[in-house]
Chain A
């Protein structure tokens, strides 16, 4: 299995802040990485796929970067609706695996 490690596990930030979450893969996954946002009591929603492609309908303040083993999700200016938990997922090889999650909290 390819282990995915996210950091930090919790992040406290204010509205308007620039926020970056990191996801590291134990081995190279090329660019086969997706990012999801999950709010309490709701299903996850995909934000980014293929490391840096923005899913349709997702605000442009979200961006993804990286390849190989290190990836970032950046929110350029945090909005009230963005306080949630974020997960990365590798889809380079089976079994597909998720990172442990990063909770973005209000500072």
Chain B
């Protein structure tokens, strides 16, 4: 059974750093792109970027390029999303999701990680 299990909710202050995780299981982690999607409170879905854990090839949305870093550790089947300096506007639910092979849509999703940034 394919599963993506994300790390737990985080409460941080502006300016702090953060790295959240997404662990894949039930499939060959290195053979599928994994992406991150932001959902701000009460708002829609925003595609942030994707990574291919096999070779760490990464694509970012211009809206998020330079604001976050997407990475993966294939030895532990885990993808990451990190911030070096959080802002209040980063408060959102963040989902990781697997890209269906040969396409670019998401077929399996993690449960989401709620990030709250508040002073």
The interface residues of chain A lying within 8 Å CB-to-CB of B63 are 95
Name which residue of chain B comes closest to A96, CB basis. Answer: B47
A52 interface residue (CB < 8 Å to B): no
The answer to whether A71 has its CB under 8 Å from any CB of chain B is no
B47 touches A97 (CB 8 A): yes
Interface size on A, residues (CB 8 A): 23
Interface pair B62/A43, CB less than 8 Å apart: no
Interface size on B, residues (CB 8 A): 23
Number of inter-chain CB pairs below 8 Å: 60
Query: Which residues of chain A from 30 to 71 have any CB-CB distance to chain B below 8 Å in the complex?
Result: 32, 34, 36, 38, 43-46, 49-50, 55
Q: Identify the closest chain B residue to A99 (Cβ).
A: B44
Which of B7-15, B24-32, B103-111 contacts its partner?
B103-111
The 9 nearest A-B residue pairs measured at CB: A91-B104, A43-B109, A34-B105, A95-B61, A98-B45, A101-B44, A96-B47, A100-B44, A91-B105
